[in-house]
Amino acid sequence: MAYTSRADLNYLGQLYLIGANRTPFLNMIGGLTGGGQTTPSFNFPITSPWALRAADQTTAVKSEDTSISDVTPLTVTRSQEYNTIQIMKYPYGVSFARESTHGEITGLNIAGGNNPVPDELVFQRTAALRQLAADIEFSFLQGTYVANNVPATVAKTRGIIAACVTNTVAGGNGALTVNMIKELLREMAASGAPFVNPVLFCNAYQKQALTALYGYAPEDRLVGGVDIQQIYTDFARLGVAYDPYMPIGTILIADMSVISPVFCPVDGQVILDQPVATTTALTGGFLYTQVGLNYGPKEYHGTLTGLAAA
């Protein structure tokens, strides 16, 4: 595996993580703490949905004669929806020489400067954990389902966007409008969505579009601008969350009350930090997790797709 050696340089200066790294969806459903459910199997059930027939005033309304003779029972059928666990592995390693020479600094050196990375192994492990969280965020949102069939299969969990096949509104490459959001909410309501804790997730472009649609800035000589964090609707108060891992042309409304990560623990641990063998001059290991997404009833969520992104 690739490892950190003395060729990987160290510098003075405060550390800043750049690029997309927020994980609001994962944070809202319990993060990496194992707060979600666990399963002893790689495939796990999500729901066993059933539905009432369309309400009417004819099917069950009888005359006195037919009420005595009609003995045909009402039968309600059920089905099952499920998802799968995916294996995620993140090796990290530092040579003995690199770990022991943390005092070697390159670049601009200034007397009295503090070394921001006094322990290279800790830094690399922390970076691996941050990458793990980012990849899970992406998978839970945009994951494409691949069934877990045989050991050679790279199983992939189904993300919530792909699961939203019941309630979805096509944007037609047009700009986001209030009517699009209203239409999606009507579809969700017609599907029986309870709107317990709905949150709207969007990328930076659509977040600004939402603020432009719903924002109102009172006149002030000292303060300007708006930042929409909640939207009041006829069905619920929607939280609004910017998520850098949302597709640029998609908006998701997810009821967070029914969503959770699902872990298949190894020795009781949802994230295993496994050290490597010590037969080489290398210290390190790998992070390992088996995780999938339980998104609950798909009818409780909805998407706006194909929105203009410029």
Write out pLDDT tens, residues 240-292: 999 999 999 999 999 999 999 999 988 888 898 888 877 677 788 889 999 99
Residues 6+ apart with CB under 8 A from 209: 175, 176
Distance between CA atoms of residues 226 and 73, nearest Å: 58
Residue 60 lies in a domain: no
Whichever domain contains 166, its CATH number is 3.90.1690
Mean pLDDT computed over every residue of the chain: 87
Q: What's the pLDDT at 258?
A: 94
Residue that the structure tokens 């510098």 belong to = 11
Tell me, yes or no, whether 18 lies in a domain: no
Mean pLDDT of 200-223: 93
Q: How far apart are CA 257 and CA 121, in angstroms?
A: 38
User: Which is more confident, 269 or 112?
Assistant: 269
In this prediction, residues 14-40 reach a mean pLDDT of: 77
Whether 195 is covered by a domain: the verdict is yes
> 113 lies in a domain?
yes
- Residue 8 resides in a domain: no
What are 117-158's pLDDT values in tens digits?
778 888 888 889 899 999 999 999 999 999 888 888 899 999
Question: What is the secondary structure of the chain as a DSSP string?
Answer: ---B-TTS--B-S-----SS---HHHHHTTTTTT-SEE-SSSEEEEE----PPPP-SSSS---HHHHHH--PPP------EEEE-EEEEEEEEEEHHHHHTTT--BSS--TTPPPS-S-HHHHHHHHHHHHHHHHHHHHHHH---B---STTS--BPPPHHHH--SSEEE-TTPPP-HHHHHHHHHHHHHTT---SSEEEEE-HHHHHHHHHHH------SS-------EEE-SS-EEEEEE-TTS-TT-EEEEEGGG-EEEE--BTTBSEEEEEPPSSSSEEEEEEEEEEEEE---GGG-EEEES----
- What percent of the chain has a predicted confidence (pLDDT) above 70? 88
The answer, yes or no, to whether residue 68 has pLDDT greater than 90, is no
Q: Indicate whether 275 belongs to any domain.
A: yes
pLDDT at residue 69, as a whole number: 80
Please say if the pLDDT value at position 6 is more than 60. no
Task: Examine the pLDDT at 1 and tell me if it is beyond 60.
Answer: no
More confident residue, 72 or 269: 269
Q: Say what the pLDDT of residue 243 is.
A: 96
pLDDT value for 249? 96
User: What's the rounded Cα separation, in Å, for the pair 59 and 48?
Assistant: 26
Q: Residue 60 has what pLDDT?
A: 82
Confidence band (pLDDT; 50, 70, 90) for 95? confident
Asked whether residue 186 is assigned to any structural domain, the reply reads: yes
Do the Cβ atoms of 246 and 57 come closer than 8 Å?
no
Residue 12's pLDDT band, with cuts at 50, 70 and 90, is very low
pLDDT category, 104, cuts 50, 70, 90?
A: low
Does residue 310 lie in a domain region?
no
User: How many domains are there within the chain?
Assistant: 1
Single out the residue of 242, 36, 25 nearest to residue 137, CA to CA: 25
- Can you tell me the distance from the alpha carbon of 185 to that of 234, in angstroms, rounded to the nearest whole number? 9
Is the Cα torsion angle 15, 20, 26, 32 positive or negative in sign? negative
Between the CA of residue 227 and those of 16, 140, 177, 222, 241, what are the distances in Å?
A: 25, 26, 17, 16, 11
pTM for the structure as a whole: 0.86
Q: Which domain holds residue 98?
A: 24-48+80-217+225-305
Q: Phi then psi for 7, rounded to 5 degrees?
A: -75, -20
